[in-house]
Amino acid sequence: MAAGAGGGGDKVSVLLPTYNERENLPLVVWLLARTFHESGHNFEIIIIDDGSPDGTQEIAKQLEKIYGSDKILLRPRARKLGLGTAYIHGMKHATGNFIVIMDADLSHHPKFIPEFIRKQKEGNFDIVSGTRYKGNGGVYGWDLKRKLIRLYRKEVLQKLMEKCVSKGYVFQMEMIVRARQLGYTVGEVPISFVDRVYGESKLGGNEIVSFLKGLLTLFATT
């Protein structure tokens, strides 16, 4: 498939670890697909579900049908095994030359991804990290409760994964520390966290679920 305008032969693999994200998943996939279509980048979304009991995998299978199994790849694991290993598992299936790591909880809007790709090209960076700016000053890209959105060159991510020992959220922190030790270049894109596109209110959880179910039914039947 042609990468389209602005793609330049690049393909982006998004690694999306999920655990009980049945409500967010259709929305995050829809936003990602729309972002990639609009920017003309070829993409695939690899969903690494850790045996969610809430039916996340059933939703992922529906999405696979809607978008095609070349775009949505469900690569589940039997149980909750932690974030670090989820990325390693996802990488085995990634065919893109760039890898984006993000969270399915919608704390980041996928619309920033084309900016990450632009930034990467601009400085030929190994890694591009979203830095969160609060008001008039930035907290340099970290705050332990926060998961970051990042773009990696595939081979750089593979090297970092071989070196990382942490599991869970610390894994992302360790990756950037190791990257600096190994002399990889890191570009930064200031992003705003969509503190909860949804959040606790889950947009009135059930309303959005029924909206998305309607959407899925519509796709499935047209």
CATH number at 93 reads 3.90.550.10
pTM, full prediction = 0.80
How many separate domains does the chain show? 1
| 149-158: pLDDT as tens digits | 899 999 999 9
The rounded mean pLDDT for the chain is 81
Residue 182 CA neighbour count, 13 Å, CB half = 19
**Is 4 a member of any domain?**
no
**Is 3 a member of any domain?**
no
**Is 5 a member of any domain?**
no
| 110-121: pLDDT as tens digits | 888 999 999 999
pLDDT at residue 144 tops 60: no
CB 111 within 8 A of CB 32: no
pLDDT at residue 135 tops 50: no
Instruction: Answer with the residue of higher pLDDT: 192 or 155.
Output: 155
197 CB burial (10 A radius; 0-12, 13-18, 19+): middle
pLDDT mean over 51-65: 95
**Is 62 a member of any domain?**
yes
**Is 76 a member of any domain?**
yes
**Domain that residue 208 falls in:** 11-221
